[in-house]
A and B are shown apart, each in its own frame.
Chain A
């Protein structure tokens, strides 16, 4: 059975304090791994897709990396506006829809 586990569940950072969010996955075959950002009361917003181990993608203060068993979302020098829930999802070869983890709730304080 495909599984996606995100850690930590919640993370509090001071502004400028870099850290990483983890997404570990178990899937029979991976078509893609996705990261989304979700603000309270809103729909998720697409950030990155990673397709193969070793791949990296960056956007502003965010950098996503992928291995065969996990993905990391690195946040460099975060700002309060980076506060949100970050969702990881896998697109399995055997399935049609994305399977989501429970998310990491990030709070960045000034």
Chain B
């Protein structure tokens, strides 16, 4: 079955540490996204990538970094510069042509900073 796989599902981090969240898709989608979800907040866009080796900042990119070396993979690094990293992180993908906008989501990764 095609889908999006995020790992790990739960992650604990000490302050000052960088962590990387994995996102892999086998849907052959061109575009991939990272969203952050906090209690009582809507999903907020961190980064997105329309094509391999290219990505754009979303609304809350500060303290995060991404790479897109392969079409299937879009890992997110939460750096020590992110002041409030505890959140639920969602990876998603869409077909790019046509860009219907319909997002397919992974199951999420919950990051807790101790």
Contacts and interface: CB of A to CB of B under 8 A. Distances in A.
B2 to A, nearest CB: 14
Interface string A68-108: 00000000000000000001010100001111111100000
Contact of A103 (B42, B45, B104): B42
Contact of A44 (B99, B100, B101, B105): B105
B90 A44 contact: yes
B33 A97 contact: yes
Interface residues on B, range: 20 to 34
Nearest to B38: A102
Contacts of B6: 43
Given A4-B42, A96-B50, A97-B48, A46 B102 contact: yes
A49 interface: yes
A98 B42 contact: no
B42 A100 contact: yes
A91 B92 CA distance: 15
Interface residues on A, range: 20 to 34
A31 B42 contact: no
Interface of B: 4, 6, 31, 33, 35, 40-45, 48, 50, 56, 58, 90, 92, 99-108, 110
Interface of A: 4, 9, 31-32, 34, 36, 41-46, 49, 87, 89, 91, 96-103
- Closest 4 A-B residue pairs measured CB to CB? A43-B105, A91-B101, A100-B42, A100-B43
17 contacts: A32-B101, A42-B107, A42-B108, A43-B4, A43-B6, A43-B90, A43-B108, A44-B43, A44-B105, A96-B48, A97-B33, A97-B45, A97-B48, A98-B103, A100-B44, A101-B42, A103-B42
